[in-house]
């Protein structure tokens, strides 16, 4: 995957941007690290050690906040009903749908804070490699945006046209945009 991603790097960033992933096969408590470097400096780190704890804490904060109302639509309940093949009692469907929605909200909050894990990196890389560049540039996922911005298929004209849109993106996406525009 690293070779595929680096194969899409624009010529000016080939020696500068590097994707790194370490893993420890024989140590189950050592999941490994995943990070992106620019000029041999670590820019974005996907640290698994604390991510799951922070995700759980975020879920608990959302669940215990009395002022936060989670709206569950009929579509959410129907989705749970389809996944469980109708084997779950009706009163539990709402509980399951609400739990999933809270989990999704907490994941979105963590992504907005750039608290990502190694599996997020691999998922975004697979999505980027299998979607057209136009969709990758418009994606809400910050990793897919980063992969697309440093892609050789994105020209200077398209980058200039994206200047206003980049002001609304996450700061790390803006960093890679400036890095690419500077070359």
- Most confident by average pLDDT, 8-17, 23-32, 167-176: 8-17
Q: Which helix (H) or strand (E) holds 69?
A: none
For residue 169, tell me if it sits in a domain: no
For residue 14, tell me if it sits in a domain: no
For residue 66, tell me if it sits in a domain: yes
Q: Which pLDDT band, with edges at 50, 70 and 90, does 47 fall under? A: low
Sheet holding 17-21, edge to edge: 17-21, 33-38, 41-47
For residue 2, tell me if it sits in a domain: no
Q: What digits encode the pLDDT tens for the residues 113-135?
A: 555 667 778 888 999 999 999 99
- 86 is in which domain, residue-wise? 50-112
For residue 91, tell me if it sits in a domain: yes
Q: What is the pTM of this model?
A: 0.64
Residue 128, burial from CB neighbour count under 10 angstroms (0-12, 13-18, 19+): buried
* Domain total in the chain: 1
Q: Which helix (H) or strand (E) holds 115?
A: none
For residue 39, tell me if it sits in a domain: no
For residue 70, tell me if it sits in a domain: yes
Using CA atoms, how far apart are residues 183 and 180, in angstroms rounded to an integer? 5
């Amino acid at each position: 995957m690293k070779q595929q991603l680096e194969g899409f790097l624009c010529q000016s960033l080939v020696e500068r941007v590097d994707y790194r992933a370490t893993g420890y096969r024989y140590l189950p408590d050592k999941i490994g690290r995943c990070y992106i470097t620019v000029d041999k400096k670590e820019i974005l780190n996907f640290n698994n050690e604390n991510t799951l704890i922070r995700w759980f804490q975020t879920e608990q904060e959302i669940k215990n906040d009395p002022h936060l109302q989670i709206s569950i639509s009929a579509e959410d309940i129907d989705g749970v009903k389809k996944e469980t093949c109708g084997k779950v009692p009706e009163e539990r469907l709402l509980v399951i749908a609400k739990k999933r929605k809270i989990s999704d909200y907490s994941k979105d909050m963590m992504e907005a804070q750039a608290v990502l894990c190694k599996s997020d990196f691999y998922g975004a890389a697979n999505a980027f490699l299998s979607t057209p560049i136009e969709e990758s540039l418009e994606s809400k996922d910050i990793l897919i945006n980063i992969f697309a911005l440093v892609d050789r298929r994105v020209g200077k004209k398209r980058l200039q046209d994206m200047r206003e849109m980049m002001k609304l993106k996450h700061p790390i996406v803006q960093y890679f945009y400036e890095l690419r525009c500077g070359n």
